[in-house]
Amino acid sequence: MQTPWHCQTSDDALATLISSPAGLTREEAGRRLAAHGPNRLQDKGRRGPLAMLLDQFKDFMIVVLVAAAVISGALGEAVDTVAIVAIVILNAVVGFVQEYRAEKAMEALQQMAAPAAVALRDGSPHNVPATDLVPGDIVLLEAGRVVPADLRLLEAATLKVEEAALTGESEAVEKDTAALPEQELAVGDRRNMAYKGTFIAHGRGKGVVTATGMATELGKIAAMLQETAEAKTPLQKRLAAFGKRLAMAVLVICGVVFAAGLLRGEEPVRMLLTAISLAVAAIPEALPAVVTIALALGARKMVRQSALVRKLPAVETLGSVTYICSDKTGTLTLNRMTVEEAQVDGRCGRVDELGLPRWQESAATGLMQRPPALFLAALAVSNDAHPDKNGELLGDPTETALAALAARYGLTRGELEKLLPRVAELPFDSERKCMTTIHRLPAGLASQSGLAGARFLALTKGAAEALTERAVTVLLASGLQPLDRPALLAAADGMAADGLRVLGVGYRLWAELPAAMTPETMETELTMLGLAGLLDPPRQEAAEAVRLCRSAGIRPVMITGDHPATARAIARRLAILADGAGVVTGRELAAMPPADLAARVEGIRVYARVAPEQKLDIVRALQERGHYVAMTGDGVNDAPALKRADIGVAMGLTGTDVSKEASAMILLDDNFATIVKAVREGRKIYDNIRKFVKYLLTTNAGEIWTLFLAPFLGLPIPLLPIHILWINLVTDSLPALALSAEPAESDIMDRPPRRPDESIFAHGLGAHAIWVGLVMAAVVLGLEAWLLNTGAAHWQTEVFTVLCLTQLGHVLAIRSEEQSLFRQGLRSNLFLLAAVAVTFGLQLATIYVPFLNQVFRTVPLSPADLGMTVLLSGVVFVAVELEKWVKRRRSRRRDARR
Ligand code: ATP
């Protein structure tokens, strides 16, 4: 049996896996992928297309329809039976196609959100989809990444892994690379391994893939992890509950209609069929499904605008957002940094005016006594940016900017590391706001360093105050001097007030390195070298997005790890902060009792020098005040706030895997403006769902009123079962679906956010359905009474046609909540126009195609009669236009009063 991976040395593990520290070649990786299959957990939960199709027939209402078909068949009503069966099949096919599209759309989105991994292929790092990893691949790890496969670690720099997914232990485990003696070790104790599905909480590392897909430890327990039923969105839940209640009410009404018909002396069988058809038609069985479809297809559309939705309810809740809390760097700014100003050797100014020295080999000897040269060298070598094949710098923009400055003066990390090899490091973390690299000092430099026996040079760079706090001296050309802290801080503040991000650089010499290299031991008693001021211009589109937020009643808030002065300058430029308004710092926030924060939180627009953990306090305080919060984040420590926020928003380009997994939405372009676009899209989707519900309920109400009132008015039941089913199928499907293509209303970003607890029936939707339904019934029954009075033989054809066409007039009128159709223009939703035209054509077919005359028991109408039905159908259209006119007048009055 093979020795367990954790008992093998890293060299043995590489040999067993027939790999090397340079990783696999692309061809070899391809071969192994074919042999081992993709690195993916099998998903057992998903329904296949057949199951999805069969599910369509499980619906209670379809069962009722089938029963209706059987009853009419038994009664010898062959045409009705065939028609009902056709309707059942059509219904199922339409439902299936929609659901399938929705599912595919969500699947595609989920795939886009799947994490990638960095693997060595042909000797250099490549971004590959995590599913393409194979045993033997060398994978690079850094804080925030999800471990993509099981790995035997080859390198671990203060590497800590959070293994809760596997072990349930939420404390991160410190990792190293030494082989372990015991064979039988619990997963959590195998310190030289990292397992798929866990994530890197801290540090960097490298490992060789030992297992992928179902062969991983996670794969072994995957069956237990299979997520069961997908969570429904609040709207879906509410509508499903409403649908059930309505179904009950409808059944009662149908009972009454049936009884009233019998009392009037209608034929019992016909009355039974009528009641059943009415039940089928009036129960909005499609409602929850339609919401899913609208949300899923909306989500697919949003991805084209760079907003990738991970959790479906987000689409719906976007419309309720009242606060957008955004990071600064990269979201509100371009994250394209350049060093503009610097302070070194006691002089402060624009970099090109400081006369910084060009690097020459000979300069190396005097390096430790020449602050400007040592400053540039520190920027170059205490830096993780690295050039790609074309020489372009890759890495964190702050670091690439510093590396680019050093490169301008002839210093590169690659060259300098030959002189100052890196032996250890304390990676950057946004809590301490600095990082340290430790380098072996060659004897030549050590001798002039000022410390007898110096063997190591520790270079620390980070936020200006963090450095000044930790420094005691400063290196000037004239030698070491005590640090004038206030003067240095004043220089940093000056740069920050111009909107620059200010980093300080310092060093410390060591003869012997301490046994425990921690920030506490290494980042103290520093000697300052200088400051660098980096410009990161605000995004142009961000200012417009901030303006839109304002008009839409959404408050934008900036939360940044940067200096308060830098934050203030950028926030002013973007109009997030009004002149004179203050900035709250992380320190002030930490000192604030929760009650104080809750009292003040609504007025605070900018938080600076905030640790990621504090974002959680801000979200909580805002939520306590009843707000709906969208919060951006990119780091590991942002995850709790992202989860807690109503909409957690992760960065697609710069975000860590962990932040992405915690979020409901990912910005593919990291851009603040994209959040605002998503809010607009979310509002539109919600509006359209409302329009859909309005249309469906009103149609149903029209049918119910008609059939319910007819007997009470002493009229025969105006419609045959087939007519009711036809209206349910044709008018309800095409125009209703086309409503989801309705463009956003022009005032969509001029109104306040929707209250999250607002019912979908708010703003008079329920009342609309009831009274417009009543108008429909009045028109239909009035026409019936008049035609029967005049003894017209074609009365039923006309009544059927009016009820159908009325729906088309109605759908056109409800395209906008308030705006009139004449203002909106017919061409702004061509889908709907086409749907109305097709439905109109189909209705004409039921009147004029001889075969259909038999099916629908209709007779061809004369042009005059047809003209009259069209005119009468317009009544509802006019009534709803009037309703909107009243609403518009009311809104105008309200606006005037404000
Ligand atoms: P924002 O919150 O606006 O997006 P950010 O997330 O970039 O900003 P952090 O990454 O937490 O903020 O950085 C906080 C501070 O740490 C910065 O202002 C800077 O002074 C310092 N800093 C950032 N990157 C580095 C780095 N690579 N090395 C050393 N210090 C850094």
Type of residue at 531: L
Report d(CA 893, CA 898) in Å as an integer: 9
Type of residue at 866: L
Q: How many residues does the chain have?
A: 898
Query: Which of 777, 805, 816, 821 has the alpha carbon at shortest distance from 873?
Result: 805
Q: Given the CA of residue 462, which atom of ligand 1 is nearest to it?
A: 30
Indicate if the pLDDT at residue 7 is higher than 50.
yes
Q: Phi, psi (5° rounding) for residue 331?
A: -100, -50
**Cβ proximity of 273 and 261 under 8 Å:** no
Distance 396 CA to ligand 1 centre (A): 10
* Ligand 1 site residues, Cβ closer than 6 angstroms: 327-329, 396, 398-399, 428, 430, 433-435, 461-463, 501, 503, 560-562
Query: Comparing 78 with 810, which gets the higher pLDDT?
Result: 810
**Cβ proximity of 675 and 652 under 8 Å:** no
Of the residues 80, 132, 137, 327, only one is catalytic, namely 327
Identify the band that residue 312 occupies on the pLDDT scale cut at 50, 70 and 90. Answer: confident
Residue 228 has what pLDDT? Answer: 40
Report d(CA 405, CA 377) in Å as an integer: 10
**Cβ proximity of 317 and 682 under 8 Å:** yes
Least confident of 278-292, 433-447, 496-510: 278-292
Residue 229 has what pLDDT? Answer: 40
Q: Given the CA of residue 433, which atom of ligand 1 is nearest to it?
A: 16
Type of residue at 702: G
764-773 pLDDT, tens digit each: 899 999 999 9
Query: Which secondary structure element, helix H or strand E, spans residue 507, and what is its range?
Result: strand 501-510
Report d(CA 853, CA 840) in Å as an integer: 16
Mean pLDDT of 47-66: 74
Q: Given the CA of residue 332, which atom of ligand 1 is nearest to it?
A: 3
CA torsion angle 215 221 227 228 (round to 10): 120
Q: Given the CA of residue 558, which atom of ligand 1 is nearest to it?
A: 3
Query: Comparing 254 with 244, which gets the higher pLDDT?
Result: 254
111-120 pLDDT, tens digit each: 777 778 999 9
**Crossing angle of the two packed helices 830-848 and 795-813, in degrees rounded to 10:** 180
**Cβ proximity of 663 and 636 under 8 Å:** no
Question: DSSP H helical segments within 625-671, as ranges?
Answer: 639-644, 657-662
Type of residue at 495: M
- Sequence-separated (6 or more) residues with CB below 8 Å from residue 230: 312
Instruction: Ligand 1 pocket test: pick from 428, 536, 606, 649 the residue with the most ligand atoms within 8 Å of its Cβ.
Output: 428
Distance 669 CA to ligand 1 centre (A): 20
Handedness of CA 445, 449, 453, 457 (dihedral sign): negative
Q: Given the CA of residue 466, which atom of ligand 1 is nearest to it?
A: 20
Identify the band that residue 61 occupies on the pLDDT scale cut at 50, 70 and 90. Answer: low
Indicate if the pLDDT at residue 414 is higher than 80.
yes
469-488 pLDDT, tens digit each: 999 999 999 999 999 999 99
- Sequence-separated (6 or more) residues with CB below 8 Å from residue 680: 548, 552, 744, 748, 749
Q: What is the DSSP string of 760-781?
A: TTTTTHHHHHHHHHHHHHHHHH
Beta pairing, strands 307-309 & 526-535: unpaired
Indicate if the pLDDT at residue 841 is higher than 70.
yes
Report d(CA 827, CA 403) in Å as an integer: 55
| Residue whose CA lies nearest to ligand 1 atom number 6 | 561
**Cβ proximity of 332 and 501 under 8 Å:** no
Instruction: Ligand 1 pocket test: pick from 381, 560, 583 the residue with the most ligand atoms within 8 Å of its Cβ.
Output: 560
Indicate if the pLDDT at residue 789 is higher than 60.
yes
Beta pairing, strands 393-394 & 422-429: unpaired
**Cβ proximity of 337 and 534 under 8 Å:** yes
Type of residue at 740: S
Instruction: Ligand 1 pocket test: pick from 382, 531, 562 the residue with the most ligand atoms within 8 Å of its Cβ.
Output: 562
Report d(CA 302, CA 113) in Å as an integer: 14
Residue in the block written with tokens 């007048």: 889
Report d(CA 177, CA 423) in Å as an integer: 16
Q: Give how far Cα 635 sits from Cα of 306, 538, 639, 665, Å.
A: 20, 21, 7, 15
Distance 609 CA to ligand 1 centre (A): 9
12 is catalytic: no
Identify the band that residue 526 occupies on the pLDDT scale cut at 50, 70 and 90. Answer: very high
Report d(CA 447, CA 470) in Å as an integer: 25
Distance 330 CA to ligand 1 centre (A): 11
What 3-state class would DSSP assign to 178?
coil
SS3 content of the chain, % helix, strand, coil (to 5): 55, 15, 30
Residue 43 has what pLDDT? Answer: 65
Distance 537 CA to ligand 1 centre (A): 15
Least confident of 433-437, 540-544, 624-628, 633-637: 633-637
Distance 430 CA to ligand 1 centre (A): 6
190-204 pLDDT, tens digit each: 999 999 988 898 888
- Sequence-separated (6 or more) residues with CB below 8 Å from residue 225: 41, 218
What 3-state class would DSSP assign to 370?
coil
What 3-state class would DSSP assign to 144?
coil
650-701 pLDDT, tens digit each: 999 888 888 998 899 999 999 999 999 999 999 999 999 999 889 989 998 9
Least confident of 304-313, 433-442, 880-889: 304-313
**Crossing angle of the two packed helices 287-304 and 672-712, in degrees rounded to 10:** 160
Indicate if the pLDDT at residue 620 is higher than 70.
yes
Query: Which of 186, 194, 183, 189 has the alpha carbon at shortest distance from 8?
Result: 183
